[in-house]
A and B are shown apart, each in its own frame.
Chain A
Amino acid sequence: MAFDPLYATRLQAAWQTGQRYAKRAVAGSNSLGLVVLYFLAAFLYMRVAESLTGTFWTQLAACLLTAVFVAPSSVRTFLRKADLAMLAPSPYPMKHYLRSAFVYSLLVQAAGMLLLAVIVYPVYKRTALSPGSWVLLAGSLILLKMWCSDLYWRHVRLERDSFLLLVAIWGIAALFLYGFWTSNRVYAAAALVLMVILTAMAMSKAARYHLPWLFLIEKENKRIDLYYTILNMFIDVPHKRKKVRPRTWAIRLFDRLTGDKGDAYLYVLVRHVIRTGETFAIYLRLAFLTLALIAWAKAPLLLYALCLLGLAAAGKQVTQHIRTIVHPPSIRLLPIASEERQRAAFRLCLAMLGLMTAGMTVVILSKTAPLLDKLALIAICWIWTYLLTAYFFRRKKTAANYQIPLKR
């Protein structure tokens, strides 16, 4: 089936944007934590799966949890606010457009079910009464998802996207899965009957001629907002409206640590880095994690690596934020020289890394090791802090100049 041309164009643009952001997110220092978290979660999950046996409760829990991932469905419509004025009154064949949206979403969700089958299979094998093959599990999940998506789409077009419906779909999906898990045809058949009834009820109310434009556009906007929120955990997303957090205590602290009260650019930079984006939150998490790991680590080599890497990761995060700040154009009129900007960025980065190093100093001193070794590590950390800051904010010949030419 060929996709609607307009839908295909929007889909392609969305994928290109997604790929671009994904590359940036992977390059960000937060992705390292995600990799560690993934391996940790995979290890723990496999240990739990191996310890399970096929009791009533484990089977029920497995089915209910699997259904949590099967029941929620969505359809990417890529509808935009402007469509309300441009497409809604036009004779554009929206039926074909929306069919494309549904088919595409179904394919994506089916791929998701294959992944879910990979994850669930170890538990299924350990807890099912007479476990079938992975293909059978994946097929069942995909079929269930198709039904969930179809029912969801019918209801959305009738503007009946209720939580109660989701609970009903979840319950029926869990019932079907329980029948599948326990090879009990009665449960599976009961679920199938309920599925047919719900579908028939939705079909009895034909989708309106007029699309629920506002409803669909709102859903699409919420989805995009969600994507950017997730992405914002890894990188600063310019499209995402930045939430400003007052963080008065941090402003006071860094105003003192950075020193010069007359420096206008430093004043705005401190507030920008601390109040907007995720940088400051990431910095705090990274600092606490590093301190905890240092407190736990015993091997000298590991201690050195943790200290140096922790500082480098924090420094990179702060530097990235400072480099991507977009100022209002009127800042070019202010008498702020490029050297002043460079100096302000240096001071702030040094203050942030310095505070982290001060925390490290306390933790290192509290450890049981020869005093000379501890002092050596502390000295290296402080030197590293300065070197890192100097490296991150080394002067580049191409640096932007805010001096406006006054006479030509």
Chain B
Amino acid sequence: MLTLERVTGGYSTGKPAIHDISFSVQSGEIVGLIGLNGAGKSTILKHVLGFLQPSSGTIAFSTDQPLLAYVPEMPELYEELTLWEHLQFMAKAYGLEEQQFQERAKRLLELFRLDKRAHHFPGSFSKGMRQKVMILCAFLVKPDVLVVDEPFVGLDPLATETLLNQLTEIKQEGTAILLSTHVLSLAETYVDRFVIVHGGNMSLHGTLEQMRQQAGLPDATLEQLFLAAVRG
């Protein structure tokens, strides 16, 4: 569904932040981007989303007009739209049928326990609740490609569990998910393949088993592999 081939880029052409990044995300798969702060994870995501242009390499989608959804690390909401209006806005933008929208929206609001706040403005929401709104908007449209940047930050354990269940559900429905996270224990359980980024380069990539072989650590956990990769 999504393929990156030898992508080099960053915020200025003279100083690339990422170098030769190549990986793919298939439909019905979760690929985890893992790295230290400043390793280049968010930069890769911004290139995938089209917010940044690579100086070399290609980013390709298997369909011409894929539906993309993005959950940023810092929730960015329209302060002048209520939670319900945010969902309605997304439904209009993606051309969802009214009945389909009503069903999905109500289910998601209940799942994330936001049904009582549906007609509130986000000004009164906590960071976790704002994050939930972003997640709800992304799940509402059932995108072809879902890009999620540090989704677990600020979420309570119940919301984290719901999010993981929802990620699994839309994955099974065929969505390609690119997930950036620091929570390695969750990533180890829910992510199918990994890309460990260090200093803007790919250190290890593939399934857990493939990465163990690449690192020469046959019994290593994801955390051990990650630490080995970043410590060189």
Residues of A within 8 A of B (CB): 242, 244, 246, 262-265, 267-268, 271-272, 275-276, 328-330, 332-336, 404-408
Contact code string B64-90 (vs A, CB < 8 Å = 1, else 0): 111111101000111111000100111
Among the listed A244, A333, A406, which residue makes an inter-chain contact with B79, where contact means beta carbons less than 8 Å apart?
A244
Q: Are B93 and A329 interface neighbours, CB within 8 A?
A: no
Question: Could you pull out 22 A-B pairs where Cβ atoms are within 8 angstroms?
Answer: A242-B79, A242-B80, A267-B85, A267-B88, A268-B78, A271-B78, A272-B80, A328-B72, A328-B76, A330-B70, A330-B76, A330-B134, A332-B51, A333-B68, A333-B69, A334-B93, A335-B65, A335-B94, A404-B51, A405-B53, A406-B65, A408-B53
Given A267-B92, A332-B50; A408-B76 close (CB under 8 Å): no
Selected interface stretch from B55-63, B174-182, B209-217, B221-229? B55-63
State the Cβ distance, B214 to closest chain A Cβ, in Å. 29
Q: How far is the CA of A373 from the CA of B78 in the complex (A)?
A: 47
B151 at the interface (CB under 8 A from A): no
B35 at the interface (CB under 8 A from A): no
Nearest B residue (CB) for A331: B93
Q: Are B49 and A404 interface neighbours, CB within 8 A?
A: yes
Given A268-B78, A276-B79, A329-B76; A408-B88 close (CB under 8 Å): no
B123 at the interface (CB under 8 A from A): yes
Among the listed B66, B78, B89, B123, which residue makes an inter-chain contact with A406, where contact means beta carbons less than 8 Å apart?
B66
Residues of chain B contacted by A246 (CB below 8 angstroms): 121
B40 at the interface (CB under 8 A from A): no
Nearest A residue (CB) for B68: A333
Residues of chain A contacted by B61 (CB below 8 angstroms): 406-407
Q: How far is the CA of A408 from the CA of B72 in the complex (A)?
A: 23
Residues of chain B contacted by A264 (CB below 8 angstroms): 89-90, 92-93
Q: How many residues on chain B are close to A (CB under 8 Å)? A: 34
Nearest A residue (CB) for B119: A246
B54 at the interface (CB under 8 A from A): yes
Q: How far is the CA of A408 from the CA of B47 in the complex (A)?
A: 11
Nearest A residue (CB) for B78: A268
Residues of chain A contacted by B121 (CB below 8 angstroms): 244, 246
Given A330-B70, A333-B69, A333-B70; A271-B81 close (CB under 8 Å): yes
State the Cβ distance, A341 to closest chain B Cβ, in Å. 12
Q: How far is the CA of A328 from the CA of B89 in the complex (A)?
A: 13
Q: Are B80 and A262 interface neighbours, CB within 8 A?
A: no
Given A244-B121, A330-B70; A276-B92 close (CB under 8 Å): no
Among the listed B50, B54, B78, which residue makes an inter-chain contact with A404, where contact means beta carbons less than 8 Å apart?
B50
Q: Are B65 and A272 interface neighbours, CB within 8 A?
A: no
Residues of chain A contacted by B93 (CB below 8 angstroms): 264-265, 334-336
Q: How far is the CA of A262 from the CA of B88 in the complex (A)?
A: 10
State the Cβ distance, B138 to closest chain A Cβ, in Å. 9
Q: Are B80 and A276 interface neighbours, CB within 8 A?
A: yes
Among the listed A263, A265, A271, A330, which residue makes an inter-chain contact with B80, where contact means beta carbons less than 8 Å apart?
A271
Q: How far is the CA of A192 from the CA of B81 in the complex (A)?
A: 58
Residues of chain B contacted by A406 (CB below 8 angstroms): 50, 59-61, 64-66
Nearest A residue (CB) for B91: A264
State the Cβ distance, B109 to closest chain A Cβ, in Å. 19
Q: How far is the CA of A335 from the CA of B93 in the complex (A)?
A: 6
Please name the 4 residue pairs, one residue from A and one from B, whose CB atoms are nearest each other, closest first: A404-B50, A328-B76, A264-B92, A264-B93
Q: How far is the CA of A272 from the CA of B121 in the complex (A)?
A: 13
Among the listed A272, A329, A332, A335, which residue makes an inter-chain contact with B78, where contact means beta carbons less than 8 Å apart?
A272
Residues of chain A contacted by B51 (CB below 8 angstroms): 329, 332, 404
Q: Are B50 and A405 interface neighbours, CB within 8 A?
A: yes
Q: How far is the CA of A272 from the CA of B77 in the complex (A)?
A: 12
Nearest B residue (CB) for A271: B80
Among the listed A268, A335, A407, which residue makes an inter-chain contact with B58, where contact means beta carbons less than 8 Å apart?
A407
Q: How far is the CA of A328 from the CA of B76 in the complex (A)?
A: 6
Q: Are B54 and A328 interface neighbours, CB within 8 A?
A: no
Q: Are B59 and A328 interface neighbours, CB within 8 A?
A: no
Q: How far is the CA of A275 from the CA of B121 in the complex (A)?
A: 11
State the Cβ distance, A15 to closest chain B Cβ, in Å. 30
Residues of chain B contacted by A242 (CB below 8 angstroms): 79-80
5 further A-B contacts with Cβ under 8 Å, apart from A272-B78, A330-B76, are A242-B80, A246-B121, A276-B79, A330-B72, A334-B93
